[in-house]
Amino acid sequence: MARDNATEWLAAPRIGRILALLGLLSLPHMLQMPPWASAAVLLIGAWRLWIARRGLRLPPLLLRLLLAGALATALALHYGSFNGLEAGMALLVAMTAMKALETRSRRDCRLLIYLGFLLLLGQVLRSQDMPWLVWMLLGVVLNLAVLIDLQHPQALLPMRGNLRRAGLLALKAIPLALVFFVLFPRIPGPLWGLPQEGSGRTGLSDSMEPGNVSQLAQSDAVAFRVRFDGPAPPNRELYWRGPVLSRFDGIRWDPLPDEGGLPVPALQTSGPLIDYEIQLEAHGRKYLLALDMPLAPLPAQTYLNADYVLKSRQPVMDARLLPLRASTRWELAADAPRWQLGNYRRMPSGINPQTQALAATWAAESADSEAFVDRVLRHFRQQPYRYTLEPPRLTGRHRIDQFLFETRAGFCEHYAAAFVVLMRFVGLPARVVTGYQGSEPNGDYHIVRQSDAHAWAEVWIEGRGWMRVDPTAAIAPERIEYGLGAALGDSALLPGLARGYERRRDLAARLLLQWDRLDAAWNRTVLAFGPSLQRDFLRRFGVNELRDMLYALVAAIALVGLLLAAQVTWAHRRKPEADPLRAIRERLLRRAGIELPPAQRGPRQIEAALREAGLWDADSERLLAHYTRLRYARREPADPELLRGLRRALRAWPARRRPPRAPGG
């Protein structure tokens, strides 16, 4: 291929900078793409760099169209469509690579930089955690630095100077960004993100099968954070209520539908009330997590359903700060109607015959319902059952029989499900409750991790109502008192930050907890700044209505604009002309220890003085010649790079005083 004269200005170092930048910004997306698509993007980038280094022509239009069509078709077949974040970002990365393959002008390069900004925005749509904030700021500065470089097509500018200018530009944008953040009217929904349904960070599902919770517990990621107004309750009382599962088909547990309009049961509490604030992440579902049991007043746009689960009117698509009140000592639905309790007695027919026979035997031996509950828990406590993250796999229709009589090893969901089935076989209303149990103190707040995911049971007792029963406490009481690490010790599947309080002595664990404090502050002040928090904040300054908010926004934008205009005017005000060459000349004379009258400081007078002082040699001659060329050059002002070279030469000049030669010597 012949050399392409149209792209001579786009030298290999310049295109290399642009491709390196786009590769860096595409990396998080390529890690989510299918391997073949990431490999294709990397090969296209390498091909473009090879063309630039060899000075070859770009591939013909027909070849580029065929390649772009093949990539788009393959991605469409892989994802099924281009709807959704993952498919859309994969297409953007692929087409950005194809655009690099047809880059032949400065305009094309600018377009690549603008695509780089879109790649940054795409990562923010995936996650708004603190590490990605740092990534976004770094990417913005790098994009601006390369964009600045494109304004000087004659030669590459030093990258250090580009980064300094780009950083200053980004800093100047911060005041305007803060104005829009505080005053721009919020709408319900995520600040930037597009959470996908069912991809929440809390990790809890609306249903449960054996193994669901144990898989979730193998992560030490943060599920949510809590701040108590006073002292935190003991760990054994921290049950965070999530979905309640009552419908059972023999394998899977599901919640009752909310559409039935069942009344919310009456709740009676005893003991102190607990006020706290939960920092909840987006999870795309309607359930909320609350300390068992939640009390009025409830946050706006929330309600309690018939299973006493706190729910949102709309799916939780943004981070939220929920002020809540709870009591850990309660009686629920002591007067529940019997027709309603039938929902919690239903069992599929023809399953788990051994369990059914065992329940009938224990019921005949028990004086009342509470004695039957105690008999079941005593069985779990006395028989060789194991609490483990690696339970044997259960198969077939009679899985409760298999667990109770054969494997006898399981996680919390196995014991809760078996307990509820035993209760229902003797006609006692019972249900599974999923959520989290326990917390980890970290400064002035508590962390609830995915490894704290838990399942327990509730059984309805005549005269008392719903009563919480946690079969896990009978198998592994240390799990309830001290957490998962205390119950499982050094299990290979147990995540590092869930191994117990002894991990606090590890430097890595302490650093991660400190980082979590920063992440919590970011989530609290930025990600959770939704419509309600914005209204509460602006009311402190007398801004109560949407109209007032818009007036304040316009006024703030005008003020920031005036300040920026004043700054630009001040920066470009007429200043006395500084003469850098004069400063260099004076420094030369000081280093030589020479004093000359102001009118006698020309190059010839300086040369004569240096000769008289015994300092004239080849280095002095080159230094003075360099100064003379710049002083009497036609270009004004002197080239900055040449000035820097003169200063370096002056610093390296060995100004050693030598004895003058004797006359005639």
- Which amino acid appears at position 301 of this protein? Q
Say how far residue 244 (Cα) sits from the centre of its chain.
Answer: 29
Considering 220, 470, 516, 519, which one is annotated as catalytic? 470
Q: What is the dihedral of CA 249, 250, 255, 256, to 10 degrees?
A: 40
Q: How far is CA 639 from CA 150, 587, 659, in A?
A: 20, 19, 37
Return d(Cα 136, Cα 344) in angstroms, integer. 50
Quick check: is 109 catalytic?
A: no
Return d(Cα 295, Cα 311) in angstroms, integer. 13
At 342, is the secondary structure helix, strand, or coil? helix
3-state SS of 29-84?
A: HHCCCCHHHHHHHHHHHHHHHHHHHHCECCCCHHHHHHHHHHHHHHHHHHHCCCCC
Return d(Cα 471, Cα 354) in angstroms, integer. 19
Tell me which residue of 32, 431, 363 sits closest to 196, measured CA to CA: 32
At 566, is the secondary structure helix, strand, or coil? helix
Burial class (CB in 10 A: 0-12, 13-18, 19+), 189: middle
Return d(Cα 482, Cα 439) in angstroms, integer. 9
Return d(Cα 59, Cα 51) in angstroms, integer. 9
Q: How far is CA 190 from CA 187, 195, 281, 395, 531, in A?
A: 9, 8, 10, 41, 11
> For the residues of 117-176, what is the DSSP string, one character each?
HHHHHHHHHH--SHHHHHHHHHHHHHHHHHHHHHT-TTSPPPHHHHHHHHHHHHHHHHHH
CB 460 within 8 A of CB 344: yes
CA angle at 655 for the pair 652 and 658, rounded to the nearest 5°: 145
CA angle at 459 for the pair 453 and 465, rounded to the nearest 5°: 120
Quick check: is 454 catalytic?
A: yes
DSSP 189: S
CB 633 within 8 A of CB 623: no
Considering 412, 446, 452, 519, which one is annotated as catalytic? 412
Q: How far is CA 617 from CA 340, 510, 561, 623, 654, in A?
A: 107, 62, 58, 10, 10
Quick check: is 258 catalytic?
A: no
Beta bridge partners of 310: 304
Considering 29, 398, 446, 454, which one is annotated as catalytic? 454
The total number of residues written for the chain in this structure: 665
CB 307 within 8 A of CB 430: no
Please identify every residue annotated as catalytic. 412, 454, 470
